[in-house]
Amino acid sequence: MPVAKIAPSLLSGDFANLASECQRMLDLGADYLHMDVMDGHFVPNLTIGAPVIQSLRRHTDAFLDCHLMVSDPERWVEDFAKAGASLYMFHYEATENHLSLIHKIHELGMKAGISLKPKTPVDVLLPLAKHLDMVLIMTVEPGFGGQKFMVDCLPKVSTLRKAFPDLDIEVDGGVDLTNIDQATAAGANVIVAGTSIFKAESPRKVIEIFRQSVNANLA
């Protein structure tokens, strides 16, 4: 069975102290570090790119879970591989060359993932999931932090978990203490959260509760 992996989104961290924020999250119990890469085109926000990942890699050996919310994701694969990304997660909606892109990611030594926007049906992933290391089901529209969790996206998680019991299934968007049990009951084992971890009185406790929820529901 998949194991719990808690991945704080550094989009909610202090970008002026990004390396120390990454280490702080790891010290608090994070398993992965979720890096939101936005190009201002595929989504209306602009964040970081490969140079930031490369700089961070010099300060940490952590698993860098890179979520590419970009147009033309084929363009950036080599840059992120050279930068030290651990996983390259691209959007299904951003390309028509899904399988060849997955193979390219693997050839360059990274794990491969595909993310789905809320309105994209999960059926499109069923032929591809066996080639993937992770699937990300967005529970908000990609592009901005602080949005409300969309519970109607969770049937996608359930469908994938039933079809692929060993797959890492990630949820991202508005995940907090009020809805974590719904997400994990649906089958999510990789939990991305920004605001609910970084703004918590005790980020460590939130990470612990998220982990306990995954373990209770996937046992």
Annotated binding-site residues for a divalent metal cation read: 34, 36, 67, 172
Q: Amino acid identity, residue 166? A: D
Q: Has residue 199 been placed in a domain?
A: yes
Tell me the pLDDT tens digit for each residue of 165-210: 999 999 999 999 999 999 999 999 999 999 999 999 999 999 999 9
Burial label for 61, CB within 10 Å (0-12, 13-18, 19+), is exposed
β-pair partners for 90: 68, 114
Provide the CA 118 distance to its chain's centre, in angstroms: 14
Number of domains in the chain: 1
Name the pLDDT band for 1 (thresholds 50, 70, 90): confident
Q: Give the whole-angstrom CA distance, residue 135 versus residue 129.
A: 7
Q: Has residue 136 been placed in a domain?
A: yes
Name the pLDDT band for 16 (thresholds 50, 70, 90): very high
Q: Has residue 91 been placed in a domain?
A: yes
Tell me the pLDDT tens digit for each residue of 106-122: 999 999 999 999 999 99
Give the pLDDT confidence score for residue 143 in this predicted structure. Answer: 78
β-pair partners for 114: 90, 135
Give the pLDDT confidence score for residue 164 in this predicted structure. Answer: 97
Please measure the distance between the N-terminal and C-terminal CA atoms of the chain and give it in whole angstroms.
Answer: 8
Q: Has residue 191 been placed in a domain?
A: yes
Annotated binding-site residues read: 9, 34, 36, 67, 143-146, 172, 174, 194-195
Range of the domain at 126: 5-213
Tell me the pLDDT tens digit for each residue of 132-163: 999 999 999 887 666 799 999 999 999 999 99
**Residue 101 reports pLDDT greater than 80:** yes
Q: Has residue 219 been placed in a domain?
A: no
Give the pLDDT confidence score for residue 146 in this predicted structure. Answer: 67
Q: Give the whole-angstrom CA distance, residue 205 versus residue 92.
A: 34
Query: Domain with 48 in it: what CATH number?
Result: 3.20.20.70
Q: Amino acid identity, residue 125? A: L
Are 53 and 35 contacting, i.e. CB atoms less than 8 angstroms apart?
yes
Q: Give the whole-angstrom CA distance, residue 135 versus residue 28.
A: 25
Are 214 and 191 contacting, i.e. CB atoms less than 8 angstroms apart?
yes
User: Between these two residues, 21 and 142, which has the higher pLDDT value?
Assistant: 21
Average pLDDT, the chain: 96
**pTM to 2 decimal places:** 0.96
Burial label for 74, CB within 10 Å (0-12, 13-18, 19+), is middle
Q: Has residue 218 been placed in a domain?
A: no
Tell me the pLDDT tens digit for each residue of 38-81: 999 999 889 999 999 999 999 999 999 999 999 999 999 999 99
Catalytic sites, residue numbers: 36, 172
